[in-house]
Amino acid sequence: MPALDRYFDVLLERGGSDLHLSIGYPPMIRAKGELVAIEDEPLDHPTIVRLMDEIINEDRRIYFHAYRDLDFAYGYEDKARFRANYLYKTTGPGAVFRTIPSEILTADQLGLPKAVVGLAERRSGLVLVTGPTGSGKSTTLAAMLDHINRNREGHILTIEDPVEFVHTPKKCQITHREVGDHTPSFADAIRSAGRENADVILVGELRGRETMKMALQLASFGILIFATVHTNSAPATIDRFVNAFPASQQPQIRGMLADSLVGIVAQQLLRKADRSGRVAAQEILIGTSGVAAAIREAKTSMLQSLIQSGGSYGMQSIDSVLEKMVAEGKVTPEDALEKAADKTTFAKLPKVAAALKGQR
């Protein structure tokens, strides 16, 4: 048994999300949003190297020490899987492990809004799930794919670096491809995906203009594409997508995006008010004709107002969701204010202002 597994046992027992190994610090885990030490003694260089080398093969070890960075997935018996990142920094090598639950939570268990489930029921188009690192994007996407797997017949193809959630076939055939092990790059995997007769394709992350453009093309071929982008809001996602291309290509990309986009889920993760765990807040944009027109005409400034007026389509702004969470006592007003898009206006909302005043 690798020595590292005892740290994973502590991580799982405490319901933590991440394990950090760094020279000069004790092993640390993130539990309920807080980073805490699980031992008193700091780790030294030989110990870190021994712990890290014990769970990788020789090819990965050589790659890591050559390129100073390595991503892979590690399976701890049948207890859990972990997304690992090995890195070098000023003090030497270190590692961060993110827990991937062995059980995929369903849409109902996560409490996903009906509009998000509705996106998973579409037959074609592009669905983007966005948010900062650690905001639960992978968990939400896994639940959406699980909904498809339970409710329709077809072929689901995932392209990830590394493969995180492993889906068991129910009604669908499932193909998991890991960048590095099964395909040289995201671009190569997406390029061949159109020939693999997939009905649904998950692209772990859209990296660069080539993968973005190919994802748009596949969506236009009648395939449902899921992908992630590291942005904090739906309008910012559109801008990030379009601005990845040279100015001469942007009108074409805006047109393709307007035609293919079926929705954006921009997710934030907050601590619960009672500190018993964390809860997701989602901004939702649905690809209506008005949204398509705003994208095509480069009027992304209109998207926020379209979201606010699009409740009948299932759209919701992040600030309206946060306001409701504060009113229901799910999160503290301080934590909600930190995640709000328009902090000045949010702080003045009656329920938020009253809650903030009551805590002073």
pLDDT tens digits along 166-207: 899 999 999 999 887 888 888 888 888 888 999 999 998 887
Question: What gap in Å lies between CA 131 and CA 236, rounded to an integer?
Answer: 10
Question: CB–CB of 300/235 below 8 Å?
Answer: yes
Is 358 a residue whose pLDDT tops 70?
A: no
DSSP string, 201-238: EEES---HHHHHHHHHHHHHTT-EEEEEE--SSHHHHH
Question: What gap in Å lies between CA 326 and CA 337, rounded to an integer?
Answer: 10
| Average pLDDT of the residues in 69-80 | 87
Q: Using one digit for the tens of pLDDT, what is the confidence trace for 115-139?
A: 999 999 999 999 999 998 888 899 9
Please, is 112 exposed, middle or buried when counting C-beta atoms within 10 Å of its C-beta (0-12, 13-18, 19+)? buried
The conformation of residue 340, written as its DSSP 8-state character, comes to -
Q: Mean pLDDT, the chain, as a whole number?
A: 92
| Average pLDDT of the residues in 20-40 | 93
Phi, psi of 287 (to 5 degrees): -75, 70
Q: Using one digit for the tens of pLDDT, what is the confidence trace for 284-300?
A: 999 999 999 999 999 99
Q: What per-residue confidence (pLDDT) applies to 78?
A: 78
**CA max distance for the chain:** 61
Question: CB–CB of 104/165 below 8 Å?
Answer: yes
Please, is 262 exposed, middle or buried when counting C-beta atoms within 10 Å of its C-beta (0-12, 13-18, 19+)? buried
Q: Using one digit for the tens of pLDDT, what is the confidence trace for 247-303?
A: 999 999 999 999 999 999 999 999 999 988 889 999 999 999 999 999 999 999 999
Confidence of residue 233 (pLDDT cuts 50, 70, 90): very high
Q: What per-residue confidence (pLDDT) applies to 150?
A: 97
Question: What gap in Å lies between CA 195 and CA 189, rounded to an integer?
Answer: 10
All domains in the chain, ordered by first residue: 5-100 (3.30.450.90), 107-316 (3.40.50.300)
